[in-house]
Amino acid sequence: MAFNWLDTLRTVAPTLASLAGGPLAGTAVSAVSHLLFGKPDAPEDEIAQAMATANPETLAKLKQLDNDFKTQMKQLDIDLERIAAEDRSSARQREVQVKDKIPGVMAMAVLVGFFGLLALLAFKPLPQIAEAPFNVMLGALGAMVTAIAQYYFGSSSSSRAKDTTIAALSNGGR
């Protein structure tokens, strides 16, 4: 299975990772590239390789970059969650305006495929040669299921509550 550098970024730098999947993706990738290579436009395969072999010092720098970026966005009064919500909202509005059934059909196909593969895995052993491609397919479908949930349901209230708690703790409990 190929290394997904965004999974590492989600763990170490969640703010930058959330941007990588939205309208500010270029900003996030450019910041990570600059940190890793000193240039904003490294190819994604080079970024993936550097993330796969990142040492603890590099990961600490990524975490600091994430914190600095979050602070800078707050100082500029840029609400990243609002931007992401508006991005999802515009996609939903387009779907309603053009009465487009394709996103819903695709979402259902992905969900049926994902849960169908899980059921298959539960009841039928896979041949050894099929395990690697099956895991890649299941991982891709799992990521799509997450995207579908975010598209249709948005950010969870528990996520917002967690952010509020963290912000309060970082401000001395205020």
Give the tens place of pLDDT for each residue, 87-99.
666 666 777 778 8
Tens-place pLDDT, residues 108-128: 999 999 999 889 888 988 888
Q: Alpha helix (H) ranges present in the chain?
A: 5-12, 14-20, 25-37, 44-52, 56-75, 80-97, 102-123, 131-153, 157-170
Residue of 145 and 92 predicted with greater confidence: 145
Average pLDDT, the chain: 77
Q: Is 67 found in the same domain as 122?
A: no
User: What is the dihedral angle through the alpha carbons of 68, 73, 77, 82, rounded to the nearest 10 degrees?
Assistant: -140
The residue segments making up the domain with residue 53 are 5-75
Is 80 within a domain? Answer: no
Domain end call among 49, 75, 101: 75
Domains contained in the chain, number: 2
